[in-house]
């Protein structure tokens, strides 16, 4: 009785890199599509994805996480002029920044420092307008799977992008005021081929 949607996520790397890898493009995660009370389409990751969860980390444990396969579910009460930044695939030289600017009501994925080898890679900024909920909250549901990032925001927006960090870029950082963080949960994930389906 559900409506499920998949998308095709194209490459953002040069053709020769895709040829060398032996594959090109990937499917997005399955998304459940519903009509909200606000008469807008709502999007959420399929509940079955929870079966991939391995270990839970909280916001104060992010230094212990070294992974390129994880899920983040977090809620924020953004301060008026203070942006929220979540940096993934970080190692000091590379990082991809998921950000929310409360002044502009703008959510984005900044890929400008996602890859040390920048020639021919698509590192453009991905962004869009996302309004806070009636309670002034921002709910984010983020999946990082090696070169794929999918960000679900307040059930009404999804931003998907490709990144190509080096294999040792495995850090995660949160930059937000303590008052802005309602909760922050991160689960490392097992691979889909490990008995998920």
* DSSP code string of 89-121: EESSS--EEEEEETTTTEEEEE-TTS-S--TT-
Q: Summarize pLDDT for 52-99 with one digit per residue, the tens.
A: 999 999 999 999 999 999 999 999 999 888 999 999 999 989 999 999
Backbone φ, ψ for residue 182 (5° rounding): -80, -50
Q: What is the pLDDT of residue 191?
A: 75
Q: Summarize pLDDT for 26-60 with one digit per residue, the tens.
A: 999 999 999 999 999 999 999 999 999 999 999 99
Is this model's pTM higher than 0.85 or not? yes
């Amino acid at each position: 009785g559900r409506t499920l949607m998949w998308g095709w996520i194209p490459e953002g790397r040069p053709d020769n890199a895709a040829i060398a890898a032996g594959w090109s493009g990937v499917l997005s995660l399955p998304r459940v599509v519903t009509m909200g009370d606000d008469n807008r389409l709502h999007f959420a990751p399929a509940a079955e994805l929870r079966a991939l969860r391995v270990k839970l980390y909280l916001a104060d444990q992010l230094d212990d996480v070294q992974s390129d396969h994880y899920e983040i579910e977090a809620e924020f009460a953004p301060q008026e002029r203070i942006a929220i930044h979540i940096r993934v695939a970080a190692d000091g030289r590379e990082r991809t920044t998921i950000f929310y600017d409360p002044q502009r009501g703008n959510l984005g994925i900044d890929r400008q420092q996602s890859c040390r080898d920048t020639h021919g890679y698509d590192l453009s900024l991905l962004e869009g307008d996302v309004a806070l909920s009636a309670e002034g909250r921002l709910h984010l549901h983020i999946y990082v799977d090696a070169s794929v990032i999918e960000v679900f925001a307040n059930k009404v927006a999804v931003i998907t992008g490709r990144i190509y960090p080096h294999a040792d870029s495995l850090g995660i950082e949160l930059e937000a005021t303590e008052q802005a963080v309602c909760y922050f949960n991160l689960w490392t994930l097992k691979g889909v081929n490990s008995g998920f389906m």
